[in-house]
Structure 1
Amino acid sequence: MSVLDKLKELLKGHEEQAGKGIDKAGDYVDERTQGKYQSQVDTAQDKLKEQLGGTDRDTDRPPQ
């Protein structure tokens, strides 16, 4: 069993909280890098949410 599979199993039923944590971590990285890597961070956040089963995508952001 891979690490990602174990994470998915642990987070089952807590997708909303995981999504909030991913957003918070991304905001922290953006703050520390002064937004220099914002598009890469946003892409990573979306992909991680997708992998962990979080289906809620940011609808307030225009598609890139």
Structure 2
Amino acid sequence: MGKLGDMMNKAKEMAKGHPDQADKGVSGAERMVDERTGNKYDARTDKAADSVRRSYRDGGTTPER
């Protein structure tokens, strides 16, 4: 696997170990994109953020914040 793939795996493992902090980062990134685009892609950023959260949460069974 390349360097980018290795970095992604490390980031995912860190997020699994600290899901609350990862949630804050995901929410911040989502908010920044929404602000910069004038909420034009709000539905897409919501869907993307949910997908990211599921990737490090326990199979999507953890309640969202």
Cα separation, 1, equivalents of 2:21 and 2:52: 13
User: Percent identity at matched positions?
Assistant: 40
Flag as ranges the 4+ runs of structure 1 deviating above 6 A. none
User: RMSD of aligned C-alpha atoms?
Assistant: 2.0
Structure 1: tracts of 5 or more residues without a match: 59-64
Q: Determine which structure has the larger helix proportion and give its number.
A: 2
Name the residue aligned to 2:12.
8
TM-score by length of 1: 0.73
1:56 maps onto 2:60 in alignment: no
Between the two proteins, the alignment pairs up a number of residues equal to 58
TM-score by length of 2: 0.73
